[in-house]
């Protein structure tokens, strides 16, 4: 017998699209112009010298997670997997920033500045993953 699933709420699809498009823009910027991205994003220059390869790798992760969220918004069968993978990466990314702050490897001002672009999106993506996984399990 085929298991039925609850539909994703409209807010879920909208939030996944908004976050996905923002993550995609950042990832594409990182891939297309790593040095421009390094200079443009506040606080990044304070983390050490730029590494084009590393910035591109992270840009690829941003783009991949964005496609998981966008795919889940457009094709709900992909929502749980796409959101779960996106949540794992972005929560680990957030964790790295928190550990840098705790160890004094960034300024208190930078730790506070990370709340908006790093920590809040990570928590919102976690919310998306939880809702999608619960929907799938229903």
Residue 98 has pLDDT above 90, yes or no: yes
Q: What is residue 2's predicted lDDT score, i.e. its pLDDT?
A: 44
Q: What is residue 46's predicted lDDT score, i.e. its pLDDT?
A: 87
**Token pair for residue 15?**
């939030």
Residue 102 has pLDDT above 60, yes or no: yes
Over pLDDT 90: what percentage of the chain? 89
Q: What is residue 5's predicted lDDT score, i.e. its pLDDT?
A: 52
Contact 93, 87 (CB under 8 A): no
Q: How far apart are CA 30 and CA 50, in angstroms?
A: 12
Residues in the chain, total: 138
Q: What is residue 138's predicted lDDT score, i.e. its pLDDT?
A: 77
Contact 89, 126 (CB under 8 A): no
Residue-averaged pLDDT of the chain: 94
Q: How far apart are CA 117 and CA 115, in angstroms?
A: 6
DSSP code at position 48 = -
Q: What is residue 136's predicted lDDT score, i.e. its pLDDT?
A: 84
Q: What is residue 67's predicted lDDT score, i.e. its pLDDT?
A: 98
**Among positive and negative, which fits the CA dihedral 128, 70, 118, 121?**
negative
State the Cα angle at 26 between 35 and 61, rounded to 5°: 95
Among 115, 87, 92, which Cα is nearest to 16's?
87
Residue 4 has pLDDT above 60, yes or no: no
DSSP code at position 42 = T
Residue 1 has pLDDT above 70, yes or no: no
């Amino acid at each position: 017998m085929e298991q039925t699933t609850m539909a994703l709420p409209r807010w879920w699809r909208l939030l996944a699209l908004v976050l996905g498009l923002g993550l995609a823009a950042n990832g594409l910027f990182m891939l297309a112009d790593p040095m421009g991205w390094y200079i443009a994003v506040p606080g990044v220059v304070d983390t050490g010298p730029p590494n084009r390869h590393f910035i591109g790798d992270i840009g690829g992760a941003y783009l991949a997670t964005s496609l998981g969220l966008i795919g889940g918004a457009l094709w709900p069968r992909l929502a749980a997997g796409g959101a779960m993978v996106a949540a794992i990466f972005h929560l680990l990314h957030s964790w790295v920033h928190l550990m840098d702050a705790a160890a004094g490897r960034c300024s208190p001002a930078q730790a506070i500045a990370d709340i908006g672009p790093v920590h809040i999106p990570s928590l919102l993506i976690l919310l998306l993953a939880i809702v999608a996984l619960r929907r799938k399990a229903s």
